[in-house]
Structure 1
């Protein structure tokens, strides 16, 4: 894990970005940090509030309501967290994605572990996060308001849904195939650029696979969480260049005029233990927990939970990576001590399982996935009360 977490190329990328920031601190900055694993379970307060969700998620961030990632969260829930797995103590938000599994030739599944992002200490697995403001134009960035939530991506997708690959939407959700040495191309370009793909790589990635997930950064200024959890948000106008979303300064559309922080989520899947288990050189064996072997159904959820005006202060004043004088730093040990036990009584990781948890037969598309009949034993699981 420690070797995997160090990438010379990525250090060069961050250094170059920091140098550019030093030249123009008033216009261009970001905060970057990691959140260790909180819990892996079949709950989803946005998609299926109050009940066990259809597929497994890996979750980071605040504990909410004292002891659990709540199955039905109110606007005040994140503020009641007793701890957070994120580096900055003020961030009690929750972030989650579906989980990647390896499908063995014998038909069993094993959860692919995560490793922390480069140069973020030693958190336990989890997610890397950037909160970015545009690099040009000195554009005002407004922090999300209390109660804000959003989803990006559609778990049912099994095919491309856009025409222009250079559009904001076209490069919002991608994968990076890490080479064996973690050095040079394709590991140097900004996430979502270069040879990154919108589908799961259909080749062996000797060093692992990273999910690059950019949330939209333009808000309509009205809705905190519409029924679809996404229509209140949009990507900036214009086409991306070689710098991708990371360096993009497009204007927000008139329908969504409020520019909020651009969140980049990085999930590093440590697939190395499976390098010698591939069934063939052309048929990749990984599948997401919603039964998606394509990667087109990659998606992520966000519930805002920053305390007070801490995020606004950070976006206004922090440009000296990796530190932020406006925020309270937590050690990796403190981050890793904030964990929860799953409230769903089933095995989802740590051992081989015979089927993906829930009712998730593998569907490769190209049509969107549908919920079909499945054995009664896979339909529900017991929700523990403590």
Structure 2
């Protein structure tokens, strides 16, 4: 099957809100939600939930174009930016729900516009908008070597779970479409900080946080930025012989199929949250790498058969967006 190259990205998270003090309510303690669906492989253009997930084919010297899928047949000279909007209307009661989305809703006219006019979801939350810049332009000259030159990128998201008491790798997606892009939000703001920002950081229309700094609500010292250490002892950047978890890439029209890999890498523990003013701590191996007695045959149609492409040396380039959006306070 050749090799896969996993490359770096840069993420930005924006909190968008009404300039009128008191019009937007901060997330309550323990609030969480998910936007997007890792099982989707086709587009329903009328769905607000799918409209919330988009991609920009960036061209800083020309015109950047927006798509609902990973740009196909397009060269993006300044890279690709994936974008996700979160729900911004809340029922005012539940901090979570079994599917992590039934307690929230979209505004009246779409993910990035409208009001919380539904009486079942009357509370307006800040609209979280995540942008992730993928440095895909570095691979434009190598497209001809890809398995699918018109769209050579694949999303991979992994989950580690227990089956019959054994920890196994359970990859939720190997998605060549981008429709399955998604993100999770867990509220970690110190009590009162976000509400003060919503009520007081409205001194300009451009989103400049300087007025928040001037009022002492928070600072801009990057040395206090928060990071989290790795949880899995596995390489996730550079040239790899297989996708993380050894997950097969499934054809877009074949639909979603969860796939279990019986080989699980070592799990690191404890996991640390630390800031940029100190060196990164290191967890130790809590669960050694292991092979479980679990087998599964992919019933769906794989996008490429290994035997057919075994000797070509062709490659995939992997987007590895494991988005757990925490607001850690170090």
Q: The TM-score by the shorter chain falls in which range?
A: 0.5 to 0.7
Cα deviation 1:236-257 (Å, max 9, x = unaligned): 112x5xxx81xx2333322211
Cα separation, partners in 2 of 1:361 and 1:231, compared to 1, 3 Å: same
Please, which of 362, 365, 378 is the counterpart of residue 252 of structure 2?
A: 365
Correspondent of 1:298 among 166, 169, 181: 181
Q: Aligned match of 1:223 in 86, 94, 102? A: 94
Q: TM-score, normalised by structure 1?
A: 0.58
Deviation at 1:357, TM superposition (A): 1.1
Q: Are residue 288 (structure 1) and residue 155 (structure 2) matched?
A: yes
Which residue pairs with 2:290 in the alignment? Answer: none
Q: Paired residue for 2:15? A: 131
Q: Do structure 1's residue 177 and structure 2's residue 57 form an aligned pair?
A: yes
Q: Is the 8 A contact 1:158 1:369 kept in 2?
A: yes
Render the CA deviation track for 1:237-282: whole Å, top value 9, x for unaligned. 12x5xxx81xx23333222111111111111111122111103795
- Pick closer, same or farther for the CA change 1:255–1:368 going to 2, 3 Å: farther
SS at match of 1:221: coil
Structure 2 counterpart SS, 1:313: helix
Aligned-residue RMSD, C-alpha: 2.3
**Whole-angstrom distance in 1 between the partners of 2:218 and 2:233:** 35
Instruction: Give the number of the structure whose alpha-carbon radius of gyration is greater.
Output: 2
Paired residues of 1:317 and 1:326 also in contact (CA < 8 A): no
Does 1:201 pair with 2:89?
Answer: no
Decide whether the 8 Å contact of 2:176 with 2:252 is kept in 1.
no
CA distance, structure 2, for counterparts of residue 372 and residue 343 of structure 1 = 21
Give yes or no for the alignment of 1:212 onto 2:87.
no
Matched residues in 1 for 2:254 and 2:91: separation? 31
Q: Which runs of 5+ in 1 are unaligned?
A: 1-105, 116-126, 187-194
SS at match of 1:315: helix
Distance 1:356 1:228 in 2: 27
Q: Note if contact 2:41-2:177 (Cα within 8 Å) is conserved in structure 1.
A: yes
Structure 2 unaligned blocks of 5 or more: 157-172, 270-282, 284-330
Name segments (4+ residues, structure 1) moved above 3 Å. Answer: 167-170, 338-341
CA shift for structure 1 position 326: 4.8
Describe the shift of the 1:258–1:278 C-alpha distance in structure 2 as closer, same or farther (beyond 3 A): same
Higher strand share: 2
Q: Secondary structure at the match of 1:384?
A: strand
3-state DSSP of counterpart to 2:257: coil
Query: What is the 5 A alignment of 1:312-351?
Result: 312-319=195-202, 320=204, 321-323=208-210, 324=212, 325-335=215-225, 338-349=226-237, 351=238
